[in-house]
Structure 1
Amino acid sequence: MALLAAAYVGTWVLNSKLERYPFLNQFEGALLSVSVTLLPAGGLFAAMPGSPINTLALLATSGSVGWYLADKFLHRYRNSSLLILPGGVSDRLFDLPGVSEEQETQNTKRACDGIVADLHESISTHGQLLANQSMKGISTYHAGYIYELLTARVLLGASCKANVDVWKRRYYPYVRRAVDLTLIILSLPLTLPIVALTAVAIRLESQGPVLFWQKRVGRKGETFQMVKFRSMYHGNPGEESDVFADKGDDRVTRVGRFIRKFRIDEIPQFWNVIKGEMSLIGPRPEQAGLVEKFDDDVTLYENRHLVRPGITGWAQVLRGYVADKEGTRHKLEHDLYYVKHQSVTLDLLITYLTLKTIVTGFGAR
């Protein structure tokens, strides 16, 4: 009963943290929460020798899972009513999905949940209004905070003063490293046959090495050789250049197109993780030549190198592959969000979305 109670509390805590990501379906978040808490507890009860107590615990677990999922499926939150003061980056909020401007009338008038303003720009023009509403107990939010809450991206712009802090959790990097190595070891019975079959398929289709090594930029701007399965014809034009892959790129082989779609070409990067050059989760390491270009053209680009790069990451599961400056800026907003808010909960969510991406093939080129 103590284990069941702890698992249920764990479900509630995890689901509460996942609810901060508005793009994640409410029921989907609840399902993910019970999958890593209540369901393992139920599996433990089922594996124990049969007894009335164990049977009762298993039934209670099943009932808890059913009740929790049904409650989240039927429960709906009301939309927040926020007063957005114009000016600065606040204006960019109206371009986001789920944000709509409503004219206040007697029929629609209701209590305001808070005020949103660009506190770097609007404090001089709306200072009196902000002070009056604060005295009434109405919260004031910076536009950048609401932007992050709605998009899971850091707001980049002229008025944005992004704050990146990677040292909030003292033991988190060590736990992450231990988890990376443990997961790689546990996955070997599954990945080794896939590696062998992929290597044979690559050699049978085209001449050239099975593996492809490329210079990438990692943590603190240090370069390293990242390894992948070769997915393009050997000796193709641009093989030695730092360029993006186009959609439908004719340099990609048939085997390469398949392994790219399901991310099989990334499996050899487990070697980079073992060496400590990468992590399983983090911003994708970029080609060295492109990094030099983006450092000059894209604001705060160098801050994505404050953490180890990853095989999968926040930008990969939400944005997919990008091949232009504007797409790179949006991808950087996702990467900086991860750098600022990295946590066990966020890593768990990225893991789930990565598995979902592998099944759908989202963003592959």
Structure 2
Amino acid sequence: MSYIRFRKHYLHIPYLVLGALEFVVLYAIFTFLSPLLSFAGVGYPSVDTNILSASLFALILSCGTLAMGGYLSMVHESVSALFFRTLVAYCFVGGIGLKLLYLVLPSANPGSTNLFWAALLASLVVILLRLAFLKIVDSEQLVRRVVIFGAGDFAASLLDEYERNMRALGVRIIGCIADNPNGAVDADKLLPTPYDFYQFCKQNRVSEIVIAQQERRRNEGGWLPVPDLMECKLRGIAITNGIDFYERELKKAKLDMVHPSWIVFSEGFKASKTRAFTKRSLDLLISLTLLAVMLPFVILTAIAVFLETGRPILYSQTRVGMLGKEFRIYKFRSMRQDAEKDGKARWASANDNRVTRVGAFIRNTRLDELPQIYNVIKGEMSIVGPRPERPEFVSELKEKIPFYDTRHYVKPGLMGWAQLKYPYGASVEDARGKLEYDLYYSKNHSLMMDFLIMIQTVEVILLGKGVR
């Protein structure tokens, strides 16, 4: 097993191991540099202070890596891009985090003006560690070898997702076993049907069989070798439902395979009064703190909007919230005043000519969303949750997309899982893609997952992802 499930969220063990190794390396680098910095006249801290400082240095820089998406991106990026991303994570995001931390805990400040060099050295060492780690985890001795039972559209989409994403997770799909003569999987991906499933798995070092049948009824031509699968399960080979595999590896639900029984009998989709109270308390604490910290930016943004296009500074829209209840959402106006002069709702498009110059900047930096802190304080929104849509779009999407209404059983949020994982949505097909992530969040949401989303949203803001 290469994953664990903590608070309903799947965490892949290879990345947890890498994170732990990086923490140890960062701690060691800071500890190693401390006596060197003391020779430069900084002054060597006490043992207790040095342990605290080294621990906080390692923790903040590790959070910087998480915030900049350093783990998942390292498989797809070149070494130079990986170095740049790590440098931003350590020297910019981590540097700001350390400066803020030292304002709150001055005793943890080692008094060094050379934190930049420590972060630079850490970047070099950690990149080498990641490259070596990738070689080891992706080796044939350690990868998790998987066989897909099924050759329909679902199996084909799993193979496509594997080529684009799953290689990063130490998974090796060796092929598909057809359950139906009319399949959608390419012939070179098909495996001959084994006479003895267990011996086949043993000979090919298969650790998991994924059941990805499009149709299981025999009168449709499909078949399921239940006795063989039972033997494999009882002898230590994991048998996994395709939709569960998809959810576990890709952190989203495969909408084409979702059915009512999956929602009814799944261990997720649980409403908890205790969690709701805790989440509401954290929403108030975070939103009030955010308002205090961002107040200067709120004032400057309001002035910039007024100077460019005059009043109104704020723009409000009706959105659909929890349980379908409508409310008014507030933003700084980023489009011309006549953006929808005919009163007809439109999706935003790439390079939308309705966006003003100030509007383009505040949309890229998400400053236009700051007035929604008011919606969070009122309780209409949460800090984390699915983004609320306009009623006009919701009516259309409910007709065209199955289970679209399930996203309204969770309070909408300023930031969300779909916003992290999917580009800007401006069509029905985009809404389907985002719903797969919203379904995963609705099923598995927890305070820990909210915390991870908040940290990773830093990358979205800094790199201007998902903006039109």
CA pair 170-192 structure 1, distance change in 2 beyond 3 A: same
1:133 paired with 2:232, answer: yes
Q: Summarize the alignment of residues 13-162 of structure 1 with structure 2, pairs less than 5 Å apart.
A: 19-20=11-12, 27=18, 54-55=48-49, 57-58=51-52, 61=55, 73=130, 75=133, 76-77=136-137, 78-87=142-151, 89-96=154-161, 97=164, 98=167, 100-102=173-175, 110-118=204-212, 121-122=215-216, 124-157=223-256, 160-161=259-260, 162=262
Aligned-residue offset at 1:170: 4.6
Distance in 1 (CA, whole Å) between partners of 2:158 and 2:366 is 34
Please say if residues 119 and 142 of structure 1, whose CA atoms lie closer than 8 Å, have aligned partners that are also in contact.
no
Q: Percent identity?
A: 31
For residues 308-349 of structure 1, the C-alpha deviation after alignment (integer angstroms, 9 at most, x for no partner) is 000110011111311112111010001111001101221122
* Kept after mapping to 1: 8 A contact 2:284/2:377: yes
Name the CA shift for 1:137/1:216 in 2 (closer, same or farther; >3 Å).
same
Cα shift readout 1:172-208 (whole Å, capped 9, x = no counterpart): 2111111111112222332111010001100100133
When residues 158 and 62 of structure 1 are mapped into structure 2, their CA distance, relative to the original with a 3 A threshold, is closer
| Structure-1 separation of matches of 2:20 and 2:346 | 37
Deviation sequence 1:192-236 (CA, Å, 0-9, x none):
110100011001001330000101000000100111110011123
From the superposition, tell whether residues 62 and 305 of structure 1 become closer, same or farther in structure 2 (CA, over 3 Å).
closer
Give the C-alpha shift of residue 264 in structure 1. 0.6
Query: Which amino acid in structure 2 is aligned with residue 54 of structure 1?
Result: D
The aligned counterpart of 2:321 is 218
Task: Give the aligned partner of residue 91 of structure 2.
Answer: none
Deviations 1:12-47 (A, max 9, x none): 998x9673399x797569779999xxx9xxxxxxxx
RMSD value, Cα: 3.8
Distance change >3 Å, CA 304–CA 360, structure 1 → 2: same
8 Å contact 1:121–1:159 — kept in the other structure? no
Q: Give the Cα separation in 2 of the matches to 1:126 and 1:328.
A: 37
Could you tell me which amino acid in structure 1 is paired with residue 159 of structure 2? F
Cα 1:228–1:31 change in 2 (3 A) is farther
In structure 2, the gaps of 5 or more residues are 31-43, 63-121, 176-188, 193-199, 218-222
Q: Aligned match of 2:434 in 328, 331, 340?
A: 331
SS in 1 for 2:336: coil
Q: Which whole-Å CA distance do the structure 2 matches of 1:134 and 1:25 have between them?
A: 27
Amino acid at match of 2:401: V
The counterpart of 2:405, out of the listed 292, 302, 318, is 302
Contact 1:34–1:65 at 8 Å: present in 2 too? Answer: no
1:232 to 319, 330, 335: 335
Partners in 1 of 2:57 and 2:357 — Cα distance? Answer: 48
Are 2:155 and 2:213, in contact at CA under 8 Å, matched by a contact in 1? no
Instruction: Give the Å deviation of 1:171.
Output: 1.7
